[in-house]
Amino acid sequence: MVTRFAPSPTGFLHIGGARTALFNWLYAKHTGGRFLLRIEDTDRARSTDAAIAAILDGLQWLGLDWEGEPVFQFARAERHKEVAYQLLESGNAYRCYSTPEELEAYRAEADAARKALSEAKKAGASAEEIARLEAALAAKPRVFSSPYRDGRTPPAPDAPFVIRLKAPREGETVVEDEVQGRVQWANKDLDDMVLLRSDGTPTYMLAVVVDDHDMGITHVIRGDDHLTNAARQKQIYNAMGWDVPTFAHIPLIHGPDGAKLSKRHGALGVDAYRAMGYLPDAMRNYLARLGWGHGDDEIFTTAQAADWFDLDAIGRSPSRFDFAKLENLNGVYIRNTPDAELVRYIREVLPTLEDADYFCARANENTWQQLEAAMPGLKERAKTIKELVKSAEYLVATLQPIEARGDLNASNSTISGVTIVADRVPIQPDEKAAKILSPEARKHLAALHQRFAALETWDVASIEAATRAYAEETGAKLGNIAQPLRAAATGRTVSPPVFDVLAVLGRDEALARIADQAG
């Protein structure tokens, strides 16, 4: 089994394309086959190197590895041309000298005839008149029929021409689709497609067939916007006497409102999902469940997905993209990922992460260790990596941003190439936290500071014990003590368990923060 993903590099890798790639990849894994990549860059005007880079980058991030080097379609133009001429020689194609202008005029006439008929009907024209218009319309079907198909002489010996497939006029073209079932078209509805343009370059329809054949593709899994193309492509396979691959046309993904995916909701590049803080494993799991299912299984490993994946379990109706479900799934994956791995991932994507500037500008080597120590508390309340980093800001809240550090002098030191600033800046509590820090709360902080300073060991258990003892002695509710502590330690009213926070911060920093707010 050989599958392929064949994007055209005219933009980023969007979510629908990513799922198509995933399905092809899963099917190859499932069958122990190969998954290849082909860049369909024959549209020279719209293809860009940036788009190619974005597609490769997106696939890599998703972990969808392809075998060998990607095939660049444009580089194979000579081969495509060769096949077009082969078809010409075998009588399965012909030179068509109709100009684009003539085609346009023909289609305009066909449209006009159609419109004339419908208007006549609406106006209640006579049966005679309607019959006449119907006959006129029948003489001009929407599908173009070239006068050169049957050997009309060229307008001039050196007139420009395209090569068209001499497609069958009678009968039907049938596609046995693994997802859509048996689909058939009357051949009269399929026109003679252009194979080679007048400038000698191949069209997409020809290039796809030739490349899929030459690459040995056995299974073509793609969006169902290509369903009609499958019929036309089959005609080329037949004309060449080639084996037709198995087709599987999967429904498109729609936006939350059921309409076509637009930039506002889901049609973002996969890089945008990385920036929003979704894990590639969660993305794969979510995408796999969109249009495909395996009983009641919702969360599964990639190995399981590959094991279970099959074409006959792909649904035929389009599905909507649901961010809420993706978020939930992402949260599950975050919670199930080991702390060290999360830290490694965060370090890797931090520069491309949304809303991570604050953390990124302040993080130093020590931060990464603290982050890992704080991770159990952080990952339990984050649905995205973006949220996680946001809630980890308290770790670096008393550090100067990198650009400000340049102004500071001798007190700075450097660890692993990162400048560490000796000077701390007290935390600026946010509005809600400031409210918590009442005069009374500040007195509690002062008392706690004393007790904490006297602790022999600085860990969660001893900090909590000291706090609870203090609450009990003063008769204060634990909540009324914990919240001021949280506000002092993080500057916010929401955080991981406050004793964890204090422990992670370390005795010196924790005491300093309490002192900053104590009254």
Partner RNA sequence: GCCCCCUUCGUCUAUCGGUUAGGACGCAAGAUUUUCAAUCUUGAAAGAGGGGUUCGACUCCCCUAGGGGGCGCCA
Q: What CA–CA distances, in Å, run from 306 to 29, 68, 180, 276? A: 6, 20, 22, 27
Please say whether the beta carbons of 55 and 15 come within 8 A: no
Total interface residues for RNA by CB under 7 A = 86
Instruction: Give the separation between CA 435 and CA 439, rounded to whole angstroms.
Output: 10
β-strand 181-186 against 172-177: which pairing, if any? Answer: antiparallel
For residue 474, the minimal CB distance to RNA (Å) is 15
Please say whether the beta carbons of 214 and 202 come within 8 A: no
> Can residue 226 be called a binding residue for RNA (CB under 7 A)?
yes
Q: Which residue's CB is nearer to RNA, number 199 or number 407?
A: 199
For residue 382, the minimal CB distance to RNA (Å) is 7
* The one among 121, 264, 316, 435 contacting RNA by CB under 7 A: 316
Instruction: Give the separation between CA 398 and CA 426, rounded to whole angstroms.
Output: 6
* The one among 482, 507, 512, 516 contacting RNA by CB under 7 A: 482
> Can residue 95 be called a binding residue for RNA (CB under 7 A)?
no
* The one among 245, 266, 277, 291 contacting RNA by CB under 7 A: 291
* Amino acid at residue number 83: V
* The one among 121, 142, 169, 264 contacting RNA by CB under 7 A: 142
Q: Which residue's CB is nearer to RNA, number 364 or number 483?
A: 483
> Can residue 328 be called a binding residue for RNA (CB under 7 A)?
yes
**By CB under 7 A, which span of 58-66, 221-229, 268-276, 346-354 interacts with RNA?**
221-229
Under rule CB under 7 A, which residues in 152-191 are in contact with RNA? Answer: 160, 162, 180-181, 183-186, 189, 191
For residue 268, the minimal CB distance to RNA (Å) is 17
**Contacts (Cβ under 8 Å, ≥6 apart) of 411:** 421, 422, 423
**Contacts (Cβ under 8 Å, ≥6 apart) of 270:** 12, 13, 14, 15, 18, 58, 61, 62, 283
* The one among 126, 317, 411, 416 contacting RNA by CB under 7 A: 317
Q: Which residue's CB is nearer to RNA, number 138 or number 410?
A: 138
Under rule CB under 7 A, which residues in 395-454 are in contact with RNA? Answer: none
> Can residue 255 be called a binding residue for RNA (CB under 7 A)?
no
Q: Which residues are identified as catalytic?
A: 263
Q: Which two tokens stand for residue 409?
A: 């002098």
> Can residue 296 be called a binding residue for RNA (CB under 7 A)?
yes
**From edge to edge, which strands make up the β-sheet containing 246-250?**
181-186, 172-177, 246-250, 219-223
Under rule CB under 7 A, which residues in 54-83 are in contact with RNA? Answer: 73
Instruction: Give the separation between CA 167 and CA 143, rounded to whole angstroms.
Output: 12
> Can residue 332 be called a binding residue for RNA (CB under 7 A)?
yes
Instruction: Give the separation between CA 150 and CA 276, rounded to whole angstroms.
Output: 58
* The one among 130, 227, 455, 515 contacting RNA by CB under 7 A: 227
Q: Which residue's CB is nearer to RNA, number 322 or number 355?
A: 322
Q: Which residue's CB is nearer to RNA, number 168 or number 318?
A: 318
For residue 365, the minimal CB distance to RNA (Å) is 27
* The one among 140, 381, 424, 507 contacting RNA by CB under 7 A: 381
For tokens 């095939």, what's the residue?
A: 71
> Can residue 225 be called a binding residue for RNA (CB under 7 A)?
yes
Which alpha helices (H) appear in 139-261, and where do they start and end? 204-214, 227-240
Instruction: Give the separation between CA 77 and CA 200, rounded to whole angstroms.
Output: 9
Q: What CA–CA distances, in Å, run from 261 to 181, 186, 252, 321, 323? A: 25, 31, 9, 8, 13
Q: Which two tokens stand for residue 419?
A: 């400048």
> Can residue 264 be called a binding residue for RNA (CB under 7 A)?
no
* Amino acid at residue number 177: D
> Can residue 376 be called a binding residue for RNA (CB under 7 A)?
no
**By CB under 7 A, which span of 274-282, 327-335, 336-344, 420-428 interacts with RNA?**
327-335
* The one among 93, 194, 374, 489 contacting RNA by CB under 7 A: 194
* The one among 357, 494, 508, 519 contacting RNA by CB under 7 A: 494
β-strand 34-39 against 2-5: which pairing, if any? Answer: parallel
> Can residue 43 be called a binding residue for RNA (CB under 7 A)?
yes
* The one among 496, 511, 514, 517 contacting RNA by CB under 7 A: 496
For residue 120, the minimal CB distance to RNA (Å) is 13
Helix (H) or strand (E) holding 382: none
**By CB under 7 A, which span of 80-88, 236-244, 291-299, 422-430 interacts with RNA?**
291-299
> Can residue 295 be called a binding residue for RNA (CB under 7 A)?
yes
**Contacts (Cβ under 8 Å, ≥6 apart) of 173:** 184, 185, 187, 190, 231, 234, 235
Please say whether the beta carbons of 383 and 327 come within 8 A: yes
**By CB under 7 A, which span of 264-272, 273-281, 285-293, 350-358 interacts with RNA?**
285-293
**Contacts (Cβ under 8 Å, ≥6 apart) of 509:** 398, 424
| Structure letter (DSSP) for residue 380 | T
For residue 351, the minimal CB distance to RNA (Å) is 26
Instruction: Give the separation between CA 366 and CA 469, rounded to whole angstroms.
Output: 32
* The one among 211, 327, 372, 509 contacting RNA by CB under 7 A: 327
For residue 254, the minimal CB distance to RNA (Å) is 6
Q: Mask: binding to RNA, 110-139, rule CB under 7 A, as x and -?
A: ----x---x---------------------
* The one among 390, 486, 489, 513 contacting RNA by CB under 7 A: 486
The neighbour count for residue 400, using CB atoms within 10 Å, is: 21
Instruction: Give the separation between CA 321 and CA 446, rounded to whole angstroms.
Output: 52
